[in-house]
């Protein structure tokens, strides 16, 4: 298993590359944009073991959930990962590419490279 000192960026890239989670995949050959399954727990065909697996894995990795000791809370797991993605400067959601009103909903995120961050920072400072 992965070490506990990985940041979200490295951890999430490892999860995408693992092929372990249905629907979690790269959207381009350059591996800069990815799709993450985003099914709501209220959906009739929601399967916690599959649809919340990535969110649970993040909670376990961060020490926020211990199998057999803590009560399962898929909603909290999803919230934690969403907040981590939103807070991180390594990711930018691409809402126009996300599909949330379909049977297998997903969000699309772009991995922000250091050079992109620097360009944004310079433009922000000098504008």
β-pairing, 106-111 with 91-93? antiparallel
- Which domains can be identified in the chain, with CATH numbers? 8-126 (1.10.10.10)
Instruction: Give the pLDDT confidence of 91-118 residue by residue, as tens digits.
Output: 999 999 999 999 899 999 999 998 776 5
Among 43-57, 58-72, 82-96, 106-120, the range scoring the smallest mean pLDDT is 106-120
CA angle 53/13/100 to nearest 5° reads 55
Q: What is the pTM of this model?
A: 0.84
Confidence at residue 1, expressed as pLDDT on a 0 to 100 scale: 46
Give Dmax over CA atoms of the chain in angstroms: 53
CA distance 102 to 104: 6
Looking at residue 48, what is its pLDDT?
A: 85
Backbone angles phi, psi at 104, to 5 degrees: -120, 75
């Amino acid at each position: 298993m992965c070490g506990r000192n990985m940041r979200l960026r490295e951890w999430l890239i490892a999860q995408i590359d693992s092929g372990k989670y249905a629907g979690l995949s790269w959207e381009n050959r350059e591996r800069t944009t990815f799709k993450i399954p985003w099914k709501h727990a209220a959906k009739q065909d929601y399967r916690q073991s599959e649809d919340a697996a990535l969110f649970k894995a993040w909670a376990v990795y961060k020490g926020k959930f211990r199998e057999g000791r803590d009560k399962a809370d898929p909603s909290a797991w999803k919230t934690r990962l969403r907040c981590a993605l939103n807070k991180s400067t390594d990711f930018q959601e691409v809402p126009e590419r996300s599909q949330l009103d379909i049977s297998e909903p997903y969000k699309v995120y772009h991995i922000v490279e250091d050079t992109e961050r620097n360009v944004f920072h310079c433009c922000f400072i000098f504008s």
